[in-house]
Structure 1
Amino acid sequence: MHVPDGFINAPLSAAAGVVAAGAVAVSLRGAHRELGGTSRAEGHGGERAAPLAGLVAAFIFAVQMLNFPVAAGTSGHLLGGALAAILVGPYTGVLCIAVVLLMQGILFADGGLTALGVNITVMGVVTVVVAYALFRGLVLVLPRTRRSVTVASFVAALVSVPAAAAAFTLVYAIGGTTDVPIGTVLTAMVGVHTLIGIGEAAITMLTVGAVVAVRPDLVYGARGLSTPLKLRVNGELVDAAPAVAPVARSPRKVWIGGLVSALVLAGFVSFYASASPDGLEKVAADQGIDKKVEEHAAAGSPLADYGVKGIEGVRLSGGLAGTIGVGATLAAGTGVFWLVRRRKAAAATAAQV
């Protein structure tokens, strides 16, 4: 659902850029708390939270390269807002998607640069807010089990995609560059993205379920999942104190497994992704939204269109581009989250002085 340049007029693109910048600023402040740690050992947890969040951004970048068919002549790909919010928290999740979209726009000419604000707002903010609100609501009413977390992640991801499609339609109704029947566009966008949402939900559920199965302590949405042991004291049930303080285990195996998975998906599996246009591209072509589309400012990039210029083999070129993309996104994401963590630590030190 990457919106290219020329779909939305300049005034609304600028306004969306302001909204996106505000959302990123708020998320930077909120991420201070989310990156505070996954264990009671605040400092140690915070140190490992930044690379894990960077890994989530890199993994989403990789999976977004895997377009899957959803209907005749139409494909879809992961948006990732629900997955990021559940794994690392909603504020950090918005930052993850923003990093991914920035890397895609600058390096791979995917998603317009003037439309970056629209893309962050629609693909990042809307999906994260809708998905995480629904996820938290479901977790509160469902039994406190790992299965409930995976079920809630499925539903949240499923709903977040058509919600983003509806948000794009609203943006286009306000500042679209062509005169098209908005009702028809809304029906087409929500319809095809509901199908894409099923794929998004399956990917999100499988990924969250896999991490929850081995390290539930690393999943932000699964924090507090375990129910404390109850003891009856003087006729009343009270929480029993843990006999031994929890030991913070290194997430190195999870991190390595996630990175290897991302590299394999982007460097090899992406070659077999569907070549059909995605949901937005298909609707845009059918409804005439793309009449004023503009050439991407980074069209001359050595990695434009997810290939390395100068390398003739399609498989090798695409694989190298995907691998470079994973590495760049991992480095950028980890750097951003490390800086957020450093600011949190510095603020805490200053407060103690």
Structure 2
Amino acid sequence: MHVPDGFFDAPTSIATGLIAAGAVGISLQRASREIRETGPALAGLTAAFVFAVQMVNFPVGAGTSGHLLGGALAAALVGPWTAVLVMSTVLLVQGLLFADGGLTALGTNITLMGLITVLVGYFVTRALLQVLPKRVGSVVPAATVGALVSVPVAALCFTGLYAVGGAVDIPLGKLATAMVGWHVLVGLGEAVITAAVLSAVVATRPDLVYAARHLQADLVLVDADGNSSTVSPDRPVAARPPGRSLGVGVAVTLLVAGVVSLFASAHPDGLEFVGAKLGFESAAKDSAVAGSPLADYGVSGIGNSHVSGALAGIIGVLVTIVVGLLIAKLASLRSARANADTTVS
């Protein structure tokens, strides 16, 4: 659902840019507690994983495809405020390095994919956890439904924005029906991916799942010497070295970006498909960085498309990890500075 430049008029793009900037600013202030619990490394890895999986378009029928948006998954893993930063990191890297989504539309993309999907996915997850059995395993079905709902809601929000400032005059009823209809199918894929990822993490390291923390019993940890210790789930995750788990996560992420992405569907995604059918695709403009050496997820100068795509994916993962870590560290520093100022005053 990456919106290109040209789909919306300037006032709408400016408005969504301000919304996105405000959301990121608030998230930088409020994500510190989540980052203390999950650790900045997990935020960086989550951003990289979402980036990698978004490269893998899956077919949804009739010549169209979809890909993970990832807001609900990120919120379940690292918390809603950190998830906004994670998704903003992914969209920033995609827009600047890979010309995926317009630069003037960056605020729109952050609003739709980095804010709407996170908030809808997280609130649905939390609401379901209030009625599901109070155990860690309940996070998986709750977040799965949250992921499913978040995608068509984002599509409906796109329709609302288009009603305000769309570049081409088209019947809004048809736009809403097409966008929501196709993105319900994309949402099903989103739900499957979210369920698979969370099931794997919950089964191995439930302490790394933010949404599961209040559902956990005390954990018994065993070190390399065989010594065991009991740790309360209220203790920040950062104090429990994730070590090998993060290493496995990085390896899986690189595998997805460097290998699995090569088998992605070549069909247009839901937004592109609807744009072509309803006639507003022609309003799209090339990104200002369309000439980037990594544009369209390939490395310029490398003739072999498979090698080029794999290398671009790996570069994207590494860059996203670094940027995600830096943003998580920035959020932590802002919190530490604010606490220091409060103490001094």
- TM-score, normalising length from structure 2? 0.92
Residue 346 of structure 1: CA displacement? 3.4
Q: What residue ranges of structure 1 are gaps of 5+ in the alignment?
A: 39-48, 229-242
- What's the counterpart of residue 79 of structure 1? 69
- What's the counterpart of residue 190 of structure 1? 180
- What's the counterpart of residue 257 of structure 1? 248
1:312 to 282, 299, 303: 303
**Percentage of identical aligned residues:** 56
Q: Residues 147-226 of structure 1 correspond to what in structure 2 (within 5 A)? A: 147-226=137-216
Residue 70 of structure 1: CA displacement? 0.4
Residue 292 of structure 1: CA displacement? 1.6
2:329 to 313, 338, 341: 338
Larger Rg, first or second structure (1 or 2)? 1
| Residue 115 (str. 1) matches residue 79 (str. 2) | no
- What's the counterpart of residue 45 of structure 1? none
Count of residues paired in the alignment: 329
Does the aligned pair in 1 maintain the 2:155–2:183 contact within 8 Å?
A: yes
Q: What is the alpha-carbon distance in structure 1 between the residues aligned to residue 120 and residue 335 of structure 2? A: 27
Residue 249 of structure 1: CA displacement? 3.0
Q: What is the alpha-carbon distance in structure 2 between the residues aligned to residue 118 and residue 348 of structure 1? A: 33
SS in 2 for 1:271: helix
Residue 347 of structure 1: CA displacement? 3.3
- What's the counterpart of residue 9 of structure 1? 9
Q: Residues 288-299 of structure 1 correspond to what in structure 2 (within 5 A)? A: 288-299=279-290
Q: What is the alpha-carbon distance in structure 2 between the residues aligned to residue 304 and residue 350 of structure 1? A: 44
Residue 168 of structure 1: CA displacement? 0.4
Residue 345 of structure 1: CA displacement? 2.8
Q: What is the alpha-carbon distance in structure 2 between the residues aligned to residue 226 and residue 129 of structure 1? A: 23
Does the aligned pair in 1 maintain the 2:75–2:82 contact within 8 Å?
A: yes
Residue 214 of structure 1: CA displacement? 1.2
Q: What is the alpha-carbon distance in structure 1 between the residues aligned to residue 31 and residue 257 of structure 2? A: 27
Q: 1:261-288: per-residue Cα shift (whole Å, max 9, x none)?
A: 1111111111100000000000000001
Q: What is the alpha-carbon distance in structure 2 between the residues aligned to residue 97 and residue 191 of structure 1? A: 24
SS in 1 for 2:187: helix
Does the aligned pair in 2 maintain the 1:144–1:227 contact within 8 Å?
A: no
| Residue 283 (str. 1) matches residue 280 (str. 2) | no
Does the aligned pair in 2 maintain the 1:161–1:197 contact within 8 Å?
A: yes
Q: What residue ranges of structure 2 are gaps of 5+ in the alignment?
A: 219-228
- TM-score, normalising length from structure 1? 0.90
Does the aligned pair in 2 maintain the 1:83–1:157 contact within 8 Å?
A: yes
Residue 124 of structure 1: CA displacement? 1.1
Amino acid in structure 2 at the alignment position of 1:324: I
SS in 1 for 2:8: coil
- What's the counterpart of residue 238 of structure 1? none
| Residue 50 (str. 1) matches residue 35 (str. 2) | no
Q: 1:147-187: per-residue Cα shift (whole Å, max 9, x none)?
A: 21101011000000000000001001110000000100100
Q: What is the alpha-carbon distance in structure 2 between the residues aligned to residue 285 and residue 185 of structure 1? A: 11
Residue 244 of structure 1: CA displacement? 5.0
Q: What is the alpha-carbon distance in structure 2 between the residues aligned to residue 29 and residue 60 of structure 1? A: 23
